[in-house]
Amino acid sequence: MPLDDELSDLNPLELDALKEVASIGAGNAATSLSRMIDSKIEMSVPKVDILPVADVPEIIGGAEKLIAAVLVRIEGEINGGVLFTLDTASANLLIELLTGMDINIEEEMGELEASALKEIGNILTGANLNAFSKMLNIKIKPQVPALAYDMSGAILEVCFIELGQVGDYALVIETDFLSDLEEDINGNFFLIPNPDSLQVILNKLGVSDV
């Protein structure tokens, strides 16, 4: 069955089940981040949506908006990727909290900045994936994180296409950060399973009628 049919066939029960797992993942990630930067961080209840692929860049504020993005591919019983995005100010803030250095990635994205961002992405996606792995009782192998700092449209487009969401619609599991820091952290998680893996997840959740 083509992915588009499959996606548009997802019923409210299946979407809710996905949301449930995503919530636990986001909670885990928030705890890890709080610990890492020693400030209270929470995550919003994830939004689970099926969107036309062309609308995806709008989620982050337009296709030309600059974002730092860490992509972690996943392999194992489910394949695809987890994408973690931050706007420029939030990326600077998190790097500063982590390294104690005053940073502006818009001026320079050096080794230090890049590895700090990858590390943050790694820890957050790892915490998130752990929840999925436990709840679904499946093995997920995260790969080495990759970093890009560029237009959100270009980054999201590549992730959705390359990870196999080649249909006209994309499954987007999106979580926002809420922090008690003076400045907001504007970040998002996207879980992008490939089409077969989406089926595996639904089967494991026991909500698939296939």
Partner 1 sequence: MSKRIRVRMADIKVGQADDIIITSGLGSCIGLTLYDSRTKVGGMAHIMLPKFPANKKKGNPAKYADTAIEMLLEQLESKGINKRRLEAKMAGGAQMFNLVNTNSKMRIGARNIEAVKEELNNYKIPLLGSEVGENYGRTMEFYTKTGEAKIKTVKHDDIIL
- Per CB under 8 A, residues contacting partner 1 are 2, 53-54, 57, 62-64, 66, 71, 73, 143-144, 146-158, 161-162, 166, 168
Q: For partner 1, which is the closer residue by CB, 33 or 155?
A: 155
- What is the Cα–Cα distance from 141 to 164, expressed in whole angstroms? 17
Q: How many CB atoms lie within 10 A of CB 40?
A: 12
CB of 28 vs partner 1, minimal distance in Å: 24
Q: For partner 1, which is the closer residue by CB, 15 or 151?
A: 151
Helix, strand, coil percent content, the chain, rounded in steps of 5: 50, 25, 25
Q: For partner 1, which is the closer residue by CB, 64 or 183?
A: 64
Alpha carbon distances (Å) from 35 to 25, 26, 39, 90, 95: 16, 14, 7, 17, 14
Closest by CA position to 158, among listed 88, 62, 56: 56
CB of 8 vs partner 1, minimal distance in Å: 13
CB of 180 vs partner 1, minimal distance in Å: 31
Q: For partner 1, which is the closer residue by CB, 151 or 207?
A: 151
- The single-letter DSSP state of residue 46 is P
DSSP letters, 73-99, are: EEEESS-EEEEEEEEHHHHHHHHHHHH
Determine the Cα angle at 166 with ends 163 and 168, to 5°: 135
CB of 155 vs partner 1, minimal distance in Å: 6
Q: For partner 1, which is the closer residue by CB, 101 or 161?
A: 161
CB of 162 vs partner 1, minimal distance in Å: 6
